[in-house]
Chains A and B, each alone.
Chain A
Amino acid sequence: MTMDLTQASADELGKLYRKGKASPVETMKAVLARAERLAPAINALCHVDTRSALAAARASEKRWKKGEPLSPLDGVPVSVKELVRVKGWPASMGSKLTDKAPADADAPAVARLREAGALVFAQSTSSEYGHKGVTDSPLHGITRNPWNTAMTPGGSSGGAGAAVAAGLGPIAIGTDGGGSVRIPASFSGLIGLKATFGRVPAWPPSMTGDLSNTGPMARTALDAALMMNAIARPDPRDGYALPPDDTDYTRKLTRLPKRLKIGFALRFGDHPLDIEVAAMVTRAARDFEALGCTVEEVEPPFSVAEASRAFVIHWLSALQRLLQVFPEARHGEFDPNLLAGAKAGLRYSLQDVVNAQVTRRDLTLAWNLFFTQYDLLLTPTVAVQPFEAGTNLPPGPDGKPNFMWSPYTPQFNLTRHPAATVPCGVSRQGLPVGLQIASAHYKDALVMRAAAAFAEAHPLKFPVLPEN
């Protein structure tokens, strides 16, 4: 074995398998070994199923030997965020309070990946019930960023982000209710997609309802596209799934359509913005001109403050259900941040909640009309660089906690528009910065093509953490 299989992309692995230059068993063993050695440093995987991973790898190896792989992802190790059900594993949700009995069915995305032959080998960490944009939980402790282990990988799919960046499987499944795929993908230097709501079927219904999306996280756009080809397939369990459309997300992936009109919004209202993030994202937006696009600076078409308030009301009023689901005597075992949020959610009136729904519809309408004028929107993915692991909020310019560090992502959970993040470089302190790309509903493939075209022109070199 000449190359480090843990650093290969899914697409590269498939090619190696096809040529017989590597096997799924070799890859799986390498990833499992690396996962074990890196566990203390990054704490990205909370459950590793060595036995079934190796059994799946052996079955995959047989298929490749017969020349009958199930898909280009056959034999590719994939981790699954602990908020997403995997048959036989606990649906722990990062919580001490949840039932740890093995789940009796795979969530749709997991079922599709298995059908594609992918090796579902581990569960990745999340903040408790995915309630915050960083990754630490009462159940599993703090997850760290492979780019700098003092820092958070973001969240709530931070385990997924850290795992992929560290070479623990080239692809991962995350979920995104307010940015939980895009924030950790940005903080870990990955490509991540929150597709149009309903494009990737999900089950069971999420606590946060139609804010929540299952999405791919990968080192390359091609890998994310290969994942979309599998996980966007229909599943009857999702009452909100879109009609299947058989899109091949790898088609013309790195070639952008001619003369796209792009809006670039550096700020989403009045919030602190890291100076390096601002500079890198502005440069990235300009670089789209080199790709043949027209780029115009734009303002968000709707009050971001009002939208953010509507988001918080949606979010916290959903969290308050946990106070009813679990007995009061055990509420002390919640992450204090989750408990405070759920209690705050209880204080909203019915009018607040219904008003927030109305604001959400008006916001969506405003962005829909925006996207009749512009093919794509570019923004920073996050307004700050990765910050200290174990803290909930980064410090603001005034030294006080900055609550407005992720103003760009939740908008598109409210509006259900597709939004991806693609890395646009590394800051002076060696931390990745992400560019968010959004479009009109159902143009997920266009968002992926824009991310792929940009990534091809701006490749990122991942750090290889020492294994000890």
Chain B
Amino acid sequence: MTADLAMMPAHELVKLFKTRKASPVEATKAALARIDAFNGQLNAFQHLDPDTAMRQARASEKRWKKGGKRLSDIDGVPITIKDMVLTKGMPTRMGSLATDPDGPFNVDAPVAQRLREAGTVLLGKTTSPEYGWKGVTDSKLYGATHNPWKIGRTPGGSSGGGTAAEAVGMGNLAIGTDGAGSVRIPCSFSGIFGLKPTQARVPLWPVSAQGTLSHIGPMTRTVRDAAMMMNVIARPDPRDPYGRPDDAEDYLKGFDKGVKGLRIAYSPTLGFVERDKIDRDVAVAVEQAVKVFKTLGARIVEDSPDFMGMDPRKVLNAHWQSNVALLLNNFSPEKRELMDPGLVKAAEYGANLGQEAVVSAIHQRQTISAIMNQFMAKYDLLLTPTMPMTAFAVNENAAWGGDGVDIGWTPFTLTFNLTRQPAATIPCGLDREGMPIGLQIVSGHAKDALVLRAAAAYERVRPIPAPPMAHQI
């Protein structure tokens, strides 16, 4: 029974809490048992605190007892949070040896605060590469995190600790961050669902080095769980300088309405990704997934935005490289010695970009956003592959043997960090080696609920499988 609680979708788990067929203490024990069983191989946590988790679980258990007042619809659900997000009482190291291990760690970021107010049980902090700088998960601080679908492969990154944990039940819900794809890359590579919401819909603080490229989002094994999380975390907080209007959106409203009649664009290349860069199995699986949407009654049109010669990859590279150049200015030469050589190299690239190049990239970002907005005015949703490839070996900085300074190997995700649109990934098959493939679902700004609704419609006919490892307990 306890093993099942750990892999159970949160929305079913809380039903058991309600009927007192299971308790937050049992659920937490189940998750901790899985951490004991799998974390040695996966290396998904930078910090674990079973005692505090059990204390939180017992407090939640009291609230679920007869006459108690639960704090939210996910009260008592075990969760994990990425090391990039400040959490009171737990270290936040940003995956870096150069940060102070002694803290103080005395304040919650908005998302951590909302989850605490909601009564969730925080198991620990999941791994990230240093400052989330690359789309894989390894760091000098913790070493490499592995993919639960195949040890020796990366889970993707930078939120790879969170996705590796989530895929095998080391926590029922997970929080990741996404500056160029860092929620969607690891969700795609690790075979789970993930949403990068509209920028600032989930408030972010302290201000990220990546500014408005940076997003925070849920990573879950079911779409409904992500919607339940959004109902908790997508609430305004004055600390986010880009905070959006309080729209009191209920992300579960209309959740089951399906996709019948929706106008959906399918873009296999997003208009700029070279076809020979897209793995054949990925292309086929995504095309099959698009057909599923068609059978569900959506009106599919193959169409791509025209970026008029601009390359979102170059625009994003200029943004993030110049941002990390500035970030690393905060560290002494001695501290830099402790940092990931790839990150230091990216900062050097950034520092050598001319000011004109960066200002021009900022302007191109606006133009790309305007083009995407006009494109989305014609469609309710856009479907693309999430990644051009599946998970590759650990300890590589990028796909195709790249050094990671060029983030262009994740073209489909980064475009929507530039444009700030909501974008989700949902598993849509396995490649010839049994590694997960992701389908990206994108909408216009603030239509996060529509993205969730479409993903849920797909999930109903193509449920998300767990990796074989998850059954080995």
Residues of A near any B CB (own CB < 8 A): 203-205, 207, 209-210, 236-243, 245, 317-318, 320-321, 324, 346, 348-355, 357-358, 361-362, 364-365, 368-369, 371-372, 415, 440-442
| Chain B residues, Cβ within 8 Å of A209 | 362-363, 366
Residue of B241, B242, B353, B376 near A350 (CB, 8 A) is B353
CA distance A236 to B362 in the complex (A): 20
- Contact assessment for B366 and A240 in the assembled complex, using a CB-CB cutoff below 8 Å: yes
- Considering only CB atoms, which chain B residue lies closest to A353 in the complex? B355
- Complex CA–CA separation, A236 to B350 (angstroms): 33
| B373 & A205 in contact (Cβ 8 Å cutoff) | no
A364 CA / B206 CA spacing, docked (Å): 12
Residues of chain A within 8 A of B369, CB atoms compared: 205, 239-240
Whether A237 contacts B374 by the Cβ 8 Å rule is yes
B37 within 8 Å of A (CB atoms): no
Q: A358 touching B326 by the CB < 8 A rule?
A: yes
Contact residues in B for A317 (Cβ distance below 8 Å): 355, 359
- B211: shortest Cβ distance to chain A, in Å? 6
A441 to B373, CA, bound (A): 22
Cβ of A245: which chain B residues have Cβ within 8 Å of it?
245
Let me know if B351 is at the binding interface, CB within 8 A: yes
Contact A237 B370 (CB under 8 A): yes
Establish whether residues B373 and A236, one from each chain, have CB atoms under 8 Å apart when the complex forms.
yes
Known: A238-B370, A239-B419, A243-B247. A361 touches B241 (CB 8 A): yes
Q: Which residues of B contact A239 (CB under 8 A)?
A: 366, 368-373, 419-420
Whether A238 contacts B326 in the complex (CB less than 8 A), given A321-B360, A369-B238, A372-B238, comes out as: no
B329 at the A interface (CB under 8 A): yes
The prevalent SS among residues of B at the interface is helix
Which one, B243, B358, B363, contacts A353 given CB within 8 A?
A: B358
Q: Assess the A355–B376 pair: CB atoms within 8 A.
A: no
Q: Is the CB of A441 within 8 A of B245?
A: yes
A318 to B360, CA, bound (A): 9
Chain B contacts for A355, CB-based, 8 A:
326
Contacts of B358 in A (CB 8 A): 350, 353-354
Q: What's the Cα separation between A357 and B374 when bound, in Å?
A: 27
* A202 to chain B: closest residue by CB: B370
B323 touches A369 (CB 8 A): no
Q: What's the Cα separation between A175 and B238 when bound, in Å?
A: 27
Q: Which residues of B contact A358 (CB under 8 A)?
A: 207, 326
List chain B residues, Cβ under 8 A from A240: 366, 369, 420
- Kindly state the separation between the CA atoms of A317 and B354 in the bound complex, as whole angstroms: 11
Which residues of chain B are within 8 angstroms of A243 by Cβ–Cβ distance?
244-245, 247, 445-446
Q: How far is the CA of A238 from the CA of B369 in the complex (A)?
A: 8
- Chain B: which residue is nearest A372 at the CB level? B238
Using A205-B367, A354-B325, A362-B207 as known contacts, say yes or no to A320 and B239 having CB atoms under 8 A apart.
no
The residue in chain B whose Cβ has the minimal distance to the Cβ of A313 is B355
- Docked complex Cα distance between A45 and B340 (Å): 59
**Which residue of chain A has the shortest Cβ distance to B445 in the bound complex?**
A243
In contact, B238 and A346 (Cβ under 8 angstroms): no
Is A350 touching B322 in the complex (CB atoms < 8 A)? yes
Task: Indicate the member of B241, B372, B373 with the most A CB atoms within 10 Å.
Answer: B241
Alpha-carbon gap, A364 to B354, bound state (A)? 26
Separation of A354 and B359 alpha carbons in the complex (Å):
10
In the complex, what residues of B have CB within 8 A of residue A238's CB? 370, 373
In the complex, B107 has a CB within 8 A of chain A: no
Between A and B, 23 residue pairs with Cβ closer than 8 Å are A203-B370, A204-B367, A205-B367, A205-B369, A239-B373, A239-B420, A240-B369, A240-B420, A242-B244, A317-B355, A317-B359, A320-B359, A324-B356, A324-B360, A348-B355, A350-B322, A350-B350, A354-B358, A358-B207, A365-B207, A368-B240, A369-B239, A415-B241
A-B contact count (CB 8 A): 112
**CB-CB < 8 A to B445: which residues of A?**
241, 243
Q: Residues 160-180 of chain B: 1 if any A CB is under 8 Å from the residue's CB, otherwise 0?
A: 000000000000000000000
Contact A350 B325 (CB under 8 A): yes
> Nearest chain B CB to A190's CB is how many angstroms away?
27
Q: Across the interface, name the chain A residue whose C-beta is closest to B329.
A: A351
- Contact of B469 with A by CB under 8 A: no
Assess whether B355 is in contact with A346, with CB atoms less than 8 Å apart. Answer: yes
A242 contacts B373, C-beta separation under 8 Å: no
**A243→B200 CA distance, assembly (Å):** 13
Assess whether B377 is interfacial by the CB under 8 Å rule.
Answer: yes
Structural contact, B325 and A361, CB atoms closer than 8 A? no
What distance in Å separates the Cβ of A237 from its nearest Cβ neighbour in chain B?
6
Complex interface: chain A residues within 8 A of B368 (CB):
239
Assembled-state Cα–Cα distance A352/B445 (Å): 31
Asked if B307 is at the interface of the complex by the 8 Å CB criterion, the answer is no
**Does B272 make an interface contact (CB < 8 A)?**
no
Please, which residues of chain B bring their CB within 8 A of the CB of A320? 355-356, 359
B325 in contact with A318 (CB, 8 Å)? no
**Known contacts being A317-B355, A346-B356, A357-B211, is A368 close to B243, with CB within 8 Å?**
yes
Neighbour of A351 across the interface among B245, B325, B359, B373, CB < 8 A: B325
Task: Indicate whether B205 reaches chain A with its CB closer than 8 angstroms.
Answer: yes
Give complex CA distance A450, B242 in Å.
24
Q: Which residues on the B side are within 8 Å of A361 (C-beta)?
A: 207, 211, 241
**Set of chain B residues within 8 Å of A365, measured between Cβ atoms:** 205, 207, 239-241
Q: Are B243 and A237 in contact (CB under 8 A)?
A: no
Q: Are A368 and B356 in contact (CB under 8 A)?
A: no
Residues B410-434 near A (CB distance < 8 A):
419-420
**Distance of A450 Cα from B362 Cα, bound (Å):** 35
A204 to B445 Cα, complex, angstroms: 18
Complex-state Cα separation, A364 to B369, whole angstroms: 23
A112: min CB distance to chain B, Å: 15
Residue in B211, B329, B359, B374 whose beta carbon sits within 8 Å of that of A321 in the complex:
B359
* Residue of A321, A357, A442 contacting most chain B CB atoms (<10 Å): A357
Whether A321 contacts B356 by the Cβ 8 Å rule is yes
* Residues of chain A contacted by B420 (CB below 8 angstroms): 239-240
Q: Complex Cα distance A119/B446, Å?
A: 33
Q: How far is the CB of B469 from chain A (nearest CB, A)?
A: 41
Residues of B contacting A415 with CB < 8 Å?
Answer: 241
Looking across the interface, which residue of chain B has its beta carbon closest to that of A358? B326
Given contacts A236-B373, A241-B373, A353-B355, 20 further A-B contacts (CB under 8 A): A203-B370, A210-B366, A238-B373, A239-B370, A239-B373, A239-B419, A239-B420, A241-B445, A317-B359, A324-B360, A350-B322, A350-B325, A354-B358, A357-B211, A361-B211, A364-B241, A371-B238, A372-B238, A440-B238, A442-B245
Chain B min CB distance to A199 (Å): 10
**Residue of B whose beta carbon sits closest to that of A206:** B366
Rounded to whole Å, the gap between the CB of A312 and the closest CB of chain B is 14
Question: Which chain B residue shows the least CB distance to A414?
Answer: B241
Decide yes or no: A207 and B363 within 8 Å by CB, A239-B373, A357-B211 being known contacts: yes
Measured CA separation A303–B353 after assembly (Å): 29
**Could you tell me the distance between the alpha carbons of A28 and B162 in the complex, rounded to whole angstroms?**
65
Determine if B377 and A349 form an interchain contact, defined as CB atoms under 8 angstroms apart: no
Which residues of A have CB within 8 Å of B377? Answer: 236
A195 to chain B, nearest CB (A): 12
Question: Which residues of A are found within 8 Å of B355, using beta-carbon distances?
Answer: 317, 320, 346, 348-350, 352-353
Whether B354 and A350, one on each chain, are in contact in the complex, defined by CB atoms closer than 8 angstroms, is: yes
The 9 closest A-B pairs by CB, nearest first: A239-B369, A364-B241, A236-B377, A205-B366, A361-B207, A354-B326, A442-B245, A243-B446, A239-B370
Separation of A209 and B373 alpha carbons in the complex (Å): 16
Cα–Cα distance between A207 and B374 once the two chains are bound (Å) = 19
- Of A209, A317, A320, A361, most buried by chain B (CB within 10 Å of CB) is A361
Instruction: Give CA–CA (A243, B420) in the complex, Å.
Output: 13
Asked whether A237 lies within 8 Å of B322 as measured between CB atoms, the reply is no
Q: A357 CA to B241 CA in the complex, in Å?
A: 12
User: What is the CA–CA distance of A449 and B360 in the complex, to the nearest angstrom?
Assistant: 39
Q: How far is it, in angstroms, between the C-alpha of A320 and the C-alpha of B359 when the chains are bound?
A: 9
Residue in B211, B245, B359, B370 with the greatest tally of chain A CB atoms within 10 Å: B359
Chain A residues contacting B243 (CB-CB under 8 Å) are 368, 441
Instruction: List, in ascending order, chain A residues with CB within 8 A of B351's CB.
Output: 350-351
Residues in A neighbouring B373, C-beta threshold 8 A: 236-239, 241
B238 touches A368 (CB 8 A): yes
Partner of B370 from A204, A357, A441 at Cβ < 8 Å: A204
